[in-house]
Amino acid sequence: MDESGFTRFFDPGQWLQPSRGPRYEQLARHIGAAIRNAALAAGTQLPPEREIAALADVSRVTVRKAIARLVDEGLVEQRRGSGSYVRDLGGEQKLEHMLSTLTSFTDYMRRRGIEPDSRVLSAGLFAPDPTEMVALGLGAGDTVARVRRLRTADGTPMAIEASSLPSDILPRPEEVGTSLYEVLGRYGRAPVRAMQRINACSIDDPDATLMGLPVGSAVLKIDRTGYLQSGRPIEFTTGLYRGDIYDFVAELRLEHRRR
Ligand code: 16G
């Protein structure tokens, strides 16, 4: 991108919207999206901080925070003394999903400048099956809310998620559209901790067709149980995630054992 390209690219009209969160986040999303769709090619040097601040009409602190976010996300690298460069993401641009942080699909995609959406495949209140009873600590007389959704990112199917929650936590499953956690958050009932079990499996129809994948494609099956602060399990979600898009990353630390 040349100088006039950057002038247009950083113009606030291109990226700033009043209700879409802090400026540094919006700026990071704008730059991040351009890196992912290769509008900003690998190896491109970003203009110096003060120049971006002037073009984008924000403070240098805002630019610094946006760049720090992009560095965290692995999209930009800072070379000592010479500035910030777009990193080479390799041929296939997998989304790195940190396993140690509890995020919703919606947050995770929005943070990367990708627009999440959901198509609700089914939703309703049911008697719990044995798996739900065990996972959510329910009895046969209780009721569960079930929501099954096709999750898309910028219109591309990424996952099929089937979520079950006790009906006192989600009395109206039809309220869930794009984000389950947003609905739970509204009532102060979003999980604060979760356990996940990940398996590799292959996908059959009708799910394969819904995901736009050939029958038999490899997908990741992830079961998540989400808990409230009190320790009560309130979400059991089984999801099938496109193996070619998601790249789950776990940070491991050496455990210091006491002798
Ligand atoms: C993530 C969770 C899923 C949760 C959903 C909520 C994994 C493997 N799964 O996809 O358990 O229900 O986020 O997202 O991360 P939402 O608020 O966008 O509906």
222 Cβ below 6 A of ligand 1: yes
83 Cα: distance to centroid of ligand 1 (angstroms): 36
Q: What is the pLDDT of residue 18?
A: 83
CB 249 within 8 A of CB 96: yes
Q: Quick one: pLDDT at residue 125?
A: 98
Contacts of 32 (CB under 8 A, 6+ apart): 69, 70, 73, 75, 112, 113
C-beta of residue 46 within 8 angstroms of C-beta of residue 30: no
Residue 103: predicted pLDDT:
85
Amino acid identity, position 49? E
Confirm whether pTM is higher than 0.85. Answer: no
pLDDT of residue 111: 78
Place of tokens 């808990």: 227
Q: Could you tell me the CA-to-CA distances from 221 to 40, 160, 192 in Å, in that order?
A: 33, 10, 22
Q: What is the DSSP letter of 44?
A: P
CA–CA separation, 79 and 168 (whole Å): 52
Distance from Cα 182 to the centre of ligand 1, integer Å? 11
What residue ranges define each of the domains in the chain, with the CATH number in brackets?
3-86 (1.10.10.10), 95-249 (3.40.1410.10)
Q: What confidence tens digit (pLDDT) does each residue in 111-123 have? A: 777 889 999 999 9
The CA 32 to ligand 1 mean position distance, Å, reads: 22
Distances (CA, A) of 134 to 102, 113, 145, 232, 253: 22, 37, 15, 12, 31
Residues 175-224 have pLDDT tens digits of: 998 899 999 999 899 999 999 999 999 999 999 999 999 999 999 999 99
Residue 90 has what pLDDT?
A: 65
**CA of 190 relative to ligand 1 center, distance in Å:** 11
Residue among 114, 146, 158, 237 to mutate when testing ligand 1 (max atoms within 8 A of CB): 237
Q: What is the pLDDT of residue 131?
A: 96
Instruction: Tell me the Ramachandran region of residue 224: left when phi exceeds 0, alpha when psi lies from -120 to 50, beta otherwise.
Output: beta
Report residues of the chain scoring pLDDT below 50: 92
Indicate the helix (H) or strand (E) that contains 123.
strand 116-126
For residue 205 the two structure tokens come to 């129809």
Contact 234 CB / ligand 1 (< 6 Å): no
